[in-house]
Amino acid sequence: MEDTREVSAELQRLADAAPLDQFDTATVLARGRRGLRRRRFLKAGGVISGVAAAALVVTLIPHFTATGNDPGVAGTQPDNSQFSSVAGVPRGEEGAGQRISAQEAARRCALRYPSTNGSMKGSTGFRSVSSQIYISKSRARTQLSPFCTIPGGDKPSAALVAAAKADPLPKDAAGQLRNCSVNAWVDMTKWHILVSDRLSLDEKNYRGFSRELLIAASPSGKTVIACQLPADQIQGAGYGWGVTAVRLDDLGTDYPRIEWPDGTFGKEIATILPEGTDCNGAVCGRSLPTGWGQAPANTAKVVVQIGSGPAYEAPLKDGWYAFTALDKTPHSNKDPLKVRAYDKNGNLLSKLYPEK
C-alpha cells in the first residue's frame, strides 16, 4: 500500500543512523497507518533542526496582563502541589530549554518512559522540552515512538495527567496551559499565552483534524514554549513539534529552522508542515498547513496561502506567529505553500517557507 511505503520511507530517514532492531518497526508502522488513515503527510523538506547562517538578536518578552479578547493568562490554575520534582532537573522555567548531553537526555526520557532504557540518536544539540529521536532498547514504547519529548523538572501528578486526558483539546487558557504543562513536564500554569490558533472541525471528511497550536511565555519573559494539542495526535512528530521550549536568553543554532533548497537555513526559528487531508473524500495535497515561528523585525502580518487559494492571516503577537489553517479547495502536491511576512505598508519582508 502507498501509505506503508510512505511510513516506511519516513522511518528509514529517521533511523538511518540507528540499528533497526532496536525498536519494533511493525508497531511503529501500524501507528503510522492509523495516522494516515484519513491524512497524508507530504514531504515538507523543512521540519528539521539545523545550523542557521546567523545568530538572532532577540528582545525578551515583557510581562503581560490579559485584557479584552487577548488569549491571556489562565484563570483558575493548579497550584505547584500538582507537580513533583525530577531528580537532577531544575524546577519551573529553568528546566525548560536547557542545553544537555545525549546521556542526560536519555536519562530523562527513561524517567518519563520507564523500562525503555533507550538512547538518543546523535550526540550533540539536545535541549530539554523538545522532541528528539529516542531508540528504546526494550519493547516499552514512548507516546510517539521513536520520539521522546525530553522532560523538564516538574512531573505532573496522576490527577493532572488524567484531567488532560479527559479534555485533550480544551477551549480555555487554564486547560490549555494545564495540558501543555503535562506534555512539557514544566509548570506553565501561570504562563501567558502570547498567540494561538485553533481549528475545530466536525464535518464528515475533516473529523479528527481539530487542533490547537499556541505559544506561551514565562512570567520572566525569558522563555517561550510552543505547544500543539491534542498531544496524542501531533502531526509530523519531530524536533519543533509537540512541545518545544525556546530560551530567549540562550539562543543557538540548534533550534528548528527551515532548510532551503540550496542547503542553507532560514534565520528565523520556524517549524512548518504542509500537511494534506481529505477534501470531499479525496486526498487533498497541502490543504492543512500547520506551523509556528518567529517573524522578522517589523512584521505586521504573516499570510499563509496554498497555490492560488484563499489567503489566511496567521495570528501574530510580539514577533511570534502560529497557524493551523484549512483550505478545502483541492490542491495537488505541486501547489506551492506560501508563508510570507509583510510590514505595515504591505511590503514583503521575508518568505518564511521555501518557494520554487
- DSSP of 162-173: HHHHHSSS-SSH
* pLDDT for the residue numbered 238: 61
Question: How far is residue 119's CA from residue 20's CA, in Å, rounded to a whole number?
Answer: 13
With b for 16 or more beta-carbon neighbours within 10 A and e for fewer, the 144-180 pattern comes to bbbbbbbbbbbbbeeebeebbeebebbeebebbbbbb
Banded model confidence at residue 144, pLDDT cuts 50, 70, 90: low
The whole domain housing 191 covers 48-62+74-98+152-351
**Sign of the torsion angle spanned by Cα atoms 247, 253, 255, 259:** positive
**Is 147:124 a contact under the CB 8 Å cutoff?**
no
Question: How far is residue 264's CA from residue 272's CA, in Å, rounded to a whole number?
Answer: 16
Q: What is the mean pLDDT of residues 108-132?
A: 87
- Nearest CA-CA partner of 96 in 194, 268, 222: 222
**Is 187:80 a contact under the CB 8 Å cutoff?**
yes
Per the DSSP assignment, residues forming a β-bridge with 197 are 213
- Establish if 187 belongs to a structural domain: yes
Indicate if the pLDDT at residue 23 is higher than 70.
no
Q: What is the mean pLDDT of the chain?
A: 76
DSSP 60: P
With b for 16 or more beta-carbon neighbours within 10 A and e for fewer, the 198-214 pattern comes to bbeeeeebbeebbbbbb
* pLDDT for the residue numbered 18: 41
Pairing of strands 282-294, 83-85: unpaired
Indicate if the pLDDT at residue 139 is higher than 80.
no
Banded model confidence at residue 203, pLDDT cuts 50, 70, 90: low
Q: What is the mean pLDDT of residues 45-56?
A: 30
Range with top average pLDDT, 109-123, 128-142, 174-188, 304-318: 174-188
pTM of this structure: 0.76
Banded model confidence at residue 7, pLDDT cuts 50, 70, 90: very low
Question: How far is residue 338's CA from residue 187's CA, in Å, rounded to a whole number?
Answer: 35
**Is 84:103 a contact under the CB 8 Å cutoff?**
no
Residues of the chain with pLDDT > 70, as a percent, come to 69
Question: Which ranges in 48-190 belong to alpha helices (H)?
Answer: 102-112, 158-166, 173-184
Banded model confidence at residue 75, pLDDT cuts 50, 70, 90: very low
- Establish if 300 belongs to a structural domain: yes
Per the DSSP assignment, residues forming a β-bridge with 223 are 247
- Nearest CA-CA partner of 277 in 306, 308, 314: 306
Q: What is the mean pLDDT of residues 112-121?
A: 85
* pLDDT for the residue numbered 142: 63
The residue behind cell 496582563 is: 65
Q: What is the mean pLDDT of residues 339-355?
A: 94
- Under 8 Å CB-to-CB from 43, ≥6 apart: which residues? none
Indicate if the pLDDT at residue 128 is higher than 50.
yes
The three-state secondary structure class of 305 is: strand
The residue behind cell 497541502 is: 286
**Is 355:342 a contact under the CB 8 Å cutoff?**
no
- Establish if 339 belongs to a structural domain: yes
Indicate if the pLDDT at residue 273 is higher than 90.
no
Indicate if the pLDDT at residue 316 is higher than 80.
yes
Q: Other CB atoms closer than 10 Å to residue 308's CB: what's the count?
A: 10
- Establish if 186 belongs to a structural domain: yes
* pLDDT for the residue numbered 122: 80
Q: What is the mean pLDDT of residues 142-165?
A: 88
- Establish if 323 belongs to a structural domain: yes
Indicate if the pLDDT at residue 126 is higher than 70.
yes
- Establish if 20 belongs to a structural domain: no
Domains: count for the chain: 1
* pLDDT for the residue numbered 32: 40
- Establish if 133 belongs to a structural domain: no
Question: What are residue 77's phi and psi, to 5 degrees?
Answer: -115, 140
Grid cell in block for residue 40 = 497524508
With b for 16 or more beta-carbon neighbours within 10 A and e for fewer, the 316-325 pattern comes to bbbbbbbbbb
* pLDDT for the residue numbered 48: 32
What separation in angstroms does the CA of 5 have from each of 2, 276, 330? 5, 17, 23
Grid cell in block for residue 77 = 490554575
Range with top average pLDDT, 224-233, 237-246, 311-320: 311-320
- Establish if 32 belongs to a structural domain: no
Task: Determine the residue type at 333.
Answer: N
